[in-house]
Structure 1
Amino acid sequence: MTLHTIMPLELVLQGYGEEGEPMLDVTAKGIRMLVIPVAPGCGKIVRLLDCSLYDYLDPTLAPGSLITFGFE
C-alpha cells in the first residue's frame, strides 16, 4: 500500500505501535460484542461479533453506544 501525503511521517504513524484500551468480550441482549469497560457492568460498544444482520440496524447497538452487561 502506498500513502501519498504532505503530512510528516511521525504525525501519520503517531500511536501506531501502542496498545489500545482493554476490551472485554461480553454477551448482552443475546449478542456477543466487544466493549470497552466504562464502569462495573457498563461499557461502550466497539464492535458486534455474533449477531443477526438486523442487529446492525438497531441504533442502540451502534459502536460508541453505552450498554449494561452482567457476567453470567
Structure 2
Amino acid sequence: MTLHTIIPMELVFQGFDSDPEPTHEVKVNGIKMEVVPLAPGMGRIVRLLDCSLNDYLNPELSPGCIIHYGSLNG
C-alpha cells in the first residue's frame, strides 16, 4: 500500500503500536453493539454488530456516541 500525504509520518502512525482499548459487547433495545466502557453502565460505541439497516442511519447509534446500557445489556 502506498500512502501519499503531507502529514508527518509520526502523526499518521500515532498510536499504531499501542494496545487497543478493551471493549465489551452489549445489547441495548435489541441492538448488539461493541462499546468501550467509560463508567459503570456507560460506554462509547465502537461499532454496531447486530441490528437492522435503518439503525445505521440513527445518529444516536453512530460510533463515538455515548450510550447508557446499565441493566439493559444482555
Compute the displacement of 1:10 (Å): 3.6
Q: Which residue of 2 aligns with 1:23?
A: 23
- TM-score w.r.t. length of structure 2: 0.79
- Between stretches 4-13 and 56-65, larger displacement belongs to 4-13
Look up the equivalent residue of 2:16 and give its one-letter code: Y
- Between stretches 51-60 and 5-14, larger displacement belongs to 5-14
- TM-score w.r.t. length of structure 1: 0.81
Ranges in structure 1 where 5+ consecutive residues have no aligned partner: none
Identity in percent: 57
User: Which runs of 4 or more aligned residues in structure 1 lie more than 6 Å from their structure 2 counterparts after TM superposition?
Assistant: none
Ranges in structure 2 where 5+ consecutive residues have no aligned partner: none
Helix, strand or coil: the match of 2:55?
Answer: helix
Aligned length: 72
Compute the displacement of 1:30 (Å): 0.4
